[in-house]
Each structure stands twice: as structure tokens, then as C-alpha cells.
Amino acid sequence: MSDLKIPNVRFAPSPTGQLHLGSARTALFNYLFAKHHNGKFYLRIEDTDKERSKQEHVEQICSSLEWLGLEWDGEPLFQSTRLEKYQSVVQTLLANNSAYRCFCSKIILEAARAGGSYQYPGTCRNLSEDDVQQHMNSGEGFVVRLHIPEGETAFDDLIYGPVQVNHEEIDDFIIARSDGHPTYNLTAVVDDHDMDITHVIRGEDHISNTPKQILIYNVLGYTLPRFAHLPMILGPDKKSLSKRHGASGVQQFKDDGYLPDALLNYLALLGWNSGSEQEIFILDEIIALFDMGQIHKKGAVYDEQKLSWISGQHMMRLGTAKILEGIHEIDESWGKGFEIHYLYAVLEQLKQRSKSLLDFIEQSAYYFNGPESYDEKSAHKNWKDESTNEFIIYYKNCLEAVEQWDAEEVEASLRKTAEENDISAGKLIHPTRLALSGFPSGPSLFAMMALLGKDVCIRRLNKALEIFPLK
């Protein structure tokens, strides 16, 4: 694409819900393409559906894009402010006979479809001016349809290559409804022209709309943009990604404490490959490498485990101060009353096991307070009888004698206890972890004990000795 003109692209969501992953990836790929070529990335809000479009969804979509770092150029364009413009274009198409009024009732249309064909048969296509006027004088409602000529429409998709559609496969589709409101295919063309959009990058579910829109471009004398249709994001069952696959909207990922860089990184890899083995990127790196020719034609499968891994890699890269800052944006009371160096040490211990900021919050409670409950499965498995109490008491006594409290010393005491009682170290490690945290797993036991401190560890062991073994 060395001869590519500086592109103008747009992301055009409908504000009928929160920004979901598929739409976020579409926005991202538009942004990457524009920024890679020093172009412009515009935002258009397609809010012509008055019943379903909500201001709260507009705000949420904008907020999600800003959180992801996908800043748009200029002010957003709202389709709801452009009704007069669309109606003017419809009148132009009627005047030059590129479109016509259709007075067919629902009953007539249903009868036409009874044979299994969903194409409009062109009943009103050749009405005379007198016939049209007579229908209008009688107060009949009508829609406006585009007159589809004989022939075919072809375009070169930047991802799928040449696409050719015979006009016999396209009926005279509606461009304005009976209430005068325009349809998607008309508004998209008019807006893309007025916004000087050079490249339309959207999901492959729109590929059937493209020949229709090209026909509108042609009858209006507009310059055609280039088209690129992104492969769908699929669930593990290879069906279109939806909530049933556990894929949340962008807002939910933000609320769950994912980093925007991590989510962007994962979305970029859903259908695009850098051409190298590298998988962890920040946004600027993806912009520098982005090439439309490296987008796959096959649908990309959403993989929650891969997202968690990528998120964990980004979390490991993030400075501890930044992690703490992010946690306090979610829960400003986290770690309240504890010194900053202690909070940093807690975060460092949890980094390996945390895929999101929420993970830090959920996994760190025992660093601040003793466990209120204990994992029952671990208790039954690792604290079976009174013999465990005897071993823990022996270990506790050794700990009480430790003068230099650090990870090496508490580990040495445990291994000494195990050796002197002729048991494996695991016979002490598992119940000790349970007593101190309430959980069967976590970061290094000995590092955790060193951080909690001697008094806290002894106190929690004493409490567990009063409770276990479970009756």
C-alpha cells in the first residue's frame, strides 16, 4: 500500500448497548490503520433508531473508547442531526429516477414472498407519474426504493480480495421508510461521503451491504472509498461471539480491573498477525507494525485463557506504583491503614498470580486481616487429624524462637520440623498456608510469612489450632 493516500476512517456504532468486543476490535483496526498511515480516525454515532438509542449508551461507548486510548479526531457526528440532509438526498434520487415510491402494502409483500423468495418483485417500479400522484392523493403510505439496474457490481476488498455480485441477487431495497426516515445503507453512504471517508473498515456481516452502497455511491456521483471487511470473532463453538460465550462488554473488562493495553493487545491478535513470534505489544508498537494485508480471512476464536495470559504479561510489566494507583481507582479503601512499602510488597508477591487489578483486590484480603473462613476441601485433605496439630505446634514453637524473621529462616524452621518429625515438608506447608490465608494456594508461603510478620503468623496458627481438625 505504498501508494495509499492519507486515509480518513470512521467507527460508527449504534448506541443501543455498551461497546462489546467485536465493535471494540472494529474501532481498534480502524484506529490502527489510520494512525499507521498518519490519517484521521473519526467517530460517528448512528442514532437514527429513536426507540433503542440511548444517551447513556453514547456516553458509555465514548468512555470505553477513551479508556482504551482510541481517541477520535474532531467532534463525533450524530446521524440524528442530519435527517434533513438524508431526506434531501432521497428527493434527489427520486428526481433523477434512481429511486421510486413503493405503495405496496404488507399483505401484497407477504403474498409476493409466499413462494419462498424474499426479493421485492418490482411491483411499483414502473408506475406512471399519474399513478404515483393518485396513490399520494389518496393518502397511501409509501417507502422509497432504489432502482437496481441490470448488470453486476464488483469491488476489491482489502482483506477478501475481488468480490462480484450479480444484480439479480439484489432487490430494489428500501432507502427511506414510510415515516420518512432513511435506512442504514443510505445514511452510511451520505455520511461517509460528507466525512470524506477514504476507507470503510467494518465487520464481514456488512459485506452484503457493500454492493448496495456502491450502487448508491454511483447514482449520486460520489467517489467510492476502499472497503475492508473484518472476519467475525467466534466463540469456542465457532458461532458468532455473544454473551453466552462469557464475552463481556468493554465496560465490564474495565470494571474487572483489566488494563486497557492488555485488552487492546488481545483484540489486535484476534484476526491480525504481526508476522513475528512476538505476542505482547503496547498500542504504539501495534500502530507501527499494523498492515491490513496481515489480517486473516478466517474468523478469530475468542479465547479467555489467552486473554488472561496476555493480561498477566502486561500486569507483570506494570510498575507497582501504577498497580496501586489502578487498584485505588476501583477501591480507594484498599490497604487503608498500612504503610506504602507494605502495600508495594503485597503487590509484588501477588503479581505472578494476578491477571487484573481486581485479582489483586480479591487475593490480598489475608495480608490485612486473618481469614474469616477456611477452604473446606483443603482442610479435610491437609488437616485430617490431631497429628497435624502436633506438627503445627512443634513448628510454631520453632518459629517463636526465630530471631531474624525472614523467608529463609521460616523455611529453615519448617524443614527442620519436618525432618525431626520424619514427615514430608508438604505435611506442614499445606496446613500452615491454610491457617495463615484460608486458601490452599497462593504466592510463596515463606515470602508471605516474612511479610506478615512473626506475631501475625503465630496468632493465626494459634487460631487454626483451636478450629482444626474439622469435626
- Active site amino acids: 243
Q: For residues 229 and 24, what is the distance between their CA atoms, to the nearest angstrom?
A: 15
DSSP string, 52-101: T--HHHHHHHHHHHHHHT-PPSSPPEEGGG-HHHHHHHHHHHHHTTSEEE
Pairing mode, if any, of strands 174-176 and 143-146?
A: antiparallel
Q: Give CA separation, 466 vs 429, 437, 457, 462, in Å.
A: 18, 16, 15, 7
| Angle CA 356–361–362, to nearest 5 | 90
Q: Residue 203 and residue 56: Cα distance in Å, rounded?
A: 24
DSSP-assigned beta bridge partners for residue 44: 77
- DSSP symbols for 350-388: HGGG-SSHHHHHHH-GGGTS--SS--HHHHHHH--SHHH
Burial tier of 360 (Cβ tally within 10 Å: 0-12, 13-18, 19+) = buried
Element (H, E) at 8: strand 8-11
Helix or strand or coil: residue 173?
A: coil
